[in-house]
């Protein structure tokens, strides 16, 4: 299949919105940026076997390739508008393309994020998406605004994706004792393969937060980026880490299992939840607005500790290699 036909068949979904002046079919896309807005842009590449297991459903790959980029925009408090797709395929596999395209399209349409162009090449499977969004001038959520006393919050639940990856690597979705355990494994794998970009949550958080980042590499590692940029420390209340009932079902029956669940929550990547700080003075207002609209959990406080020191409430040092002070 010729590249143009492939683009026409699988990647042409809607008429361009009014702010897209040219798209596929010219050398480049021409876009209108609204007045008093800044452009926010990020690119992420997914490689088969590195960023998703090789047998991942193409629908999920299409979803995840855009979701991880939307997550970066959410972490900046930006609204998604457009994206480009650089797709490298080993061969033209129409079944794969149908699934991939459907997953990508569903998420793009959900967030009114328009595919403005791209490049299709032959080679080992990889997907690079660059997403573009807009933010009110001067209002982007940076990593550098955290101050001692700010409350540390996360959206959603943590550690599910890491548990999902472990279950795939161990092929442990086969021999479960109960349907509850089977459902829990499926939930965690879904969290890994079909992450939710917290675009809706970001739209509330952006009005209150002093910093924001998305958790792609693990809570402790991503928190350390905020601490470095803001030159502060943090104290986490591990008892407050939001763990899903699926993760609890799979891991809470033994002490070792509980520790594993906490380690997943602290160091597991791929959750794509937002980690953000709220100045104490705005916290009540924030909680009033967010209630019923998004799940958020306070997990700690920014401290004056030496830059990038993270402790638990007992003063034990937490490092991105995980939580092992039980040992």
Q: Is 202 in the site for a second copy (CB under 8 A)?
A: no
Identify the CA nearest to 43 among candidates 133, 128, 140: 128
Q: Is 29 in the site for a second copy (CB under 8 A)?
A: yes
- The span from the CA of 229 to the CA of 254, in Å, is 38
Q: Which stretch binds a second copy (CB under 8 A): 37-45, 101-109, 169-177, 301-309?
A: 37-45
Q: Is 76 in the site for a second copy (CB under 8 A)?
A: yes
Taking the complex as a whole, the smallest distance from the CB of residue 20 to a second copy amounts, in Å, to: 10
DSSP 8-state assignment for residue 34: P
Taking the complex as a whole, the smallest distance from the CB of residue 141 to a second copy amounts, in Å, to: 8
Question: Per-residue x/- mask for a second copy, residues 128 to 157, rule CB under 8 A?
Answer: x-x-xx-x-x--x-xx--------------
DSSP 8-state assignment for residue 68: H
For every residue of 71-103, DSSP letters joined together read HHHHHHTPEEEEEEEEEEESS--HHHHHHHHHH
Looking at the Cβ atoms of 34 and 288, the one nearer to a second copy is: 34
Looking at the Cβ atoms of 43 and 186, the one nearer to a second copy is: 43
Taking the complex as a whole, the smallest distance from the CB of residue 184 to a second copy amounts, in Å, to: 30
Q: Is 22 in the site for a second copy (CB under 8 A)?
A: yes
Q: Is 73 in the site for a second copy (CB under 8 A)?
A: yes
Looking at the Cβ atoms of 84 and 301, the one nearer to a second copy is: 84
CB atoms within 10 A of CB 249: 17
Q: Is 284 in the site for a second copy (CB under 8 A)?
A: no
How many residues in the shown chain lie near a second copy by CB under 8 A? 56
Do β-strands 151-155 and 296-303 pair in parallel, antiparallel, or remain unpaired? antiparallel
Residue 165, CA atoms < 13 Å, CB-side half-sphere: 16
Residue with tokens 């596929």: 24
- The span from the CA of 23 to the CA of 115, in Å, is 8
Q: Is 118 in the site for a second copy (CB under 8 A)?
A: yes
Q: What is the CA 98 to chain-centroid distance, rounded?
A: 24
Q: Is 123 in the site for a second copy (CB under 8 A)?
A: yes
- The span from the CA of 28 to the CA of 219, in Å, is 38
Q: Is 86 in the site for a second copy (CB under 8 A)?
A: yes
| Binding site residues, a second copy, CB under 8 A | 21-22, 25-33, 35, 38-45, 47, 49-51, 72-73, 75-76, 78, 84-86, 88, 116-119, 121-124, 126, 128, 130, 132-133, 135, 137, 140, 142-143, 212-214, 225, 229
């Amino acid at each position: 299949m010729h590249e143009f036909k492939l683009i026409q068949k699988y990647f042409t979904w809607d008429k361009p919105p009014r702010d897209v002046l040219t798209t596929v079919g010219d050398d480049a896309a021409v876009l209108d940026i609204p007045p008093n807005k800044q452009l926010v842009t990020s690119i992420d590449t997914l490689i088969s076997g590195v960023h998703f297991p090789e047998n991942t459903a193409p629908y999920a790959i299409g979803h995840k390739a855009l979701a991880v980029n939307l997550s970066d925009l959410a972490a900046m408090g930006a609204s998604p508008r457009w994206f480009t797709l650089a797709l490298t395929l080993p061969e033209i596999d129409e079944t794969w393309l149908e699934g991939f395209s459907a997953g990508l399209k569903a998420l793009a349409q959900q967030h009114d994020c328009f595919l403005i162009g791209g490049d299709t090449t032959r080679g080992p499977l990889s997907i690079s998406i660059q997403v573009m969004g807009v933010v009110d001038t001067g209002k982007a959520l940076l990593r550098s605004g955290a101050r001692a006393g700010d409350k540390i919050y996360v959206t959603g639940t943590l550690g599910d994706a890491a548990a999902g990856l472990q279950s795939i690597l161990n092929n442990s979705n086969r021999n479960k004792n109960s349907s509850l355990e089977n459902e829990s494994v499926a939930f965690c794998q879904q969290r890994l393969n079909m992450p939710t970009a917290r675009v809706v949550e970001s739209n509330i958080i952006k009005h209150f937060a002093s910093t924001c980042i998305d958790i792609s590499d693990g809570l402790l590692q991503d928190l350390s980026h905020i601490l470095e940029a803001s030159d502060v420390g943090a104290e986490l209340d591990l008892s407050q880490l939001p763990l899903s009932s699926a993760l609890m079902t799979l891991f809470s029956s033994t002490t070792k299992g509980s520790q594993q669940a906490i380690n997943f929550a602290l160091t597991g990547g791929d959750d794509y939840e937002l980690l953000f700080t709220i100045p104490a003075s705005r916290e009540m207002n924030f909680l009033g607005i967010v209630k019923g609209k998004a799940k958020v959990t306070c997990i700690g406080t920014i401290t004056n500790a030496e830059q990038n020191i993270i402790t638990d409430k007992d003063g034990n040092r937490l490092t991105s290699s995980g939580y092992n002070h039980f040992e």
